[in-house]
Each structure stands twice: as C-alpha cells, then as structure tokens.
Amino acid sequence: MPVTTLDPKTALVVIDLQAGIVAASTVPYPATDVVARTAELAGAFRAHGLPVVLVRVSGRPDGSDAVAGRIDGGPRPSRPRPEGWDVLVEEITGPDDIVITKRNWGAFHGTDLDTQLRRRGVTQIVLTGIATSIGVESTARAAHEHNYHVTLATDAMSDLDELTHRNSIEKIFPRLGETGTTAEIIELLAKTHG
C-alpha cells in the first residue's frame, strides 16, 4: 500500500548505515544513494522537530559476543572486524539524534529503542538502511509487533542480493506497513507538519 499518512509523532529509524556496511556492494541501489536519500529524509525530519534514530550494529572486535546458534548459511566470519567498522557515516548524523547499538539483526531486541520511541510519544516509524532483507526487515517486523505504524522508504534501502531485496519490498513489507519513495515521504511530511 503506498504511503498515505504520517502520524504527528513519527520517527525516522536508520538501520546500519555505518562504515563497514556501506562499503559493501549493494543492489538495487549503491550504498552512496541510500546514504544520500537517508540524509535527505533525516534533514526533513529534523526540520520538523521529529526524532531521528541511528541504529548501528556492533560487538566485540573478536566477535565473541555474536549471536550463537546453528545456521545453514555456513560458518560465521571468524576474522575480527576492522577498527571503525561500526562508525556511523557522517552524512546522516545530527547532534540531537538518538543512537542505538544493537547486537542482532533487528533494532528492538536487546536495545532500548522501544523505550526511546515511547518516551517521545512516537506512534509511527519510517525505516531506511542496509540490508533490506536483514536489519530493515527484522526491525520492520518487530515495529509492527510493537504496534507502531510502519512506513518503508523503498528507495532509501538496499541489499546484498537483488532477489531478497525484491522479496522484502514486494511480499513482506506490504503486510507490515506502507511503502513510499523518499520524495513521497518528504512531501507527505511537509503536508502533515507544514
């Protein structure tokens, strides 16, 4: 369903736009485009006095605090992540942003994201980030389960795989919320808060 409404208390939630992730090759949009569109959205949210939440994934350099469990996807990387891997990209940061550090795919489990949003009266989130089918989708599912209205900025997210990106956009997201482009969301934001 195309984006139709933004609640008076809507927050932008940005998933994993950090040095080590934006360095990856992504599809259908290059990470630089995702960062630029997210920066545009963040600027619009800040201009309207709405919260911007920057979520980063981090952990111990040796990976010893990584989530355990058996998976079919092959062994988890055993080499340490490089210094600065988890630093948020400068283009999206603002002085009053809320920064959430997660250790899982989704931004709700094991963090104070829900508390931070509820303290501010937020009832809706707009999501951007990388990767569409991992961090963004996991967060969208949890937001829906926490009874937030969910809007997904489909041109401000990308993935490592075209098919998984398309599956999230076409099959999963319509069941969790509304979708729209950066321009559509900014236009609706101006109408709602103008």
The 10s digit of each residue's pLDDT in 181-192 is: 999 999 999 999
Domain membership of residue 134 (yes or no) is: yes
Question: Contact 128/153 with Cβ under 8 angstroms?
Answer: yes
Question: Contact 138/105 with Cβ under 8 angstroms?
Answer: yes
Domain membership of residue 29 (yes or no) is: yes
Statement: residue 73 has pLDDT above 70:
no
Q: How many domains does the chain have?
A: 1
> Model-level pTM?
0.93
Question: Contact 182/41 with Cβ under 8 angstroms?
Answer: yes
Domain membership of residue 78 (yes or no) is: no
Check residues 70 and 18 and name the one with the higher pLDDT.
Answer: 18
Contacts of 137 (CB under 8 A, 6+ apart): 168, 172, 173
Q: What is the pLDDT of residue 20?
A: 94
- State the Cα–Cα distance between residues 93 and 77, nearest whole angstrom: 29
Residue 65's pLDDT band (boundaries 50, 70, 90)? low
- Average pLDDT (154-165) is 98
Domain membership of residue 5 (yes or no) is: no
Cα 98 to Cα 13, 29, 60, 191: the distances in Å are: 9, 26, 22, 25
Q: What is the pLDDT of residue 68?
A: 62
The 10s digit of each residue's pLDDT in 32-45 is: 999 999 999 999 99
**Domain of 182?**
10-60+83-193
Lowest mean pLDDT among 33-47, 51-65, 124-138, 144-158: 51-65
Domain membership of residue 2 (yes or no) is: no
Domain membership of residue 72 (yes or no) is: no
Q: What is the pLDDT of residue 134?
A: 96
Task: Give just the sign of the alpha carbon dihedral 159, 57, 77, 139.
Answer: negative
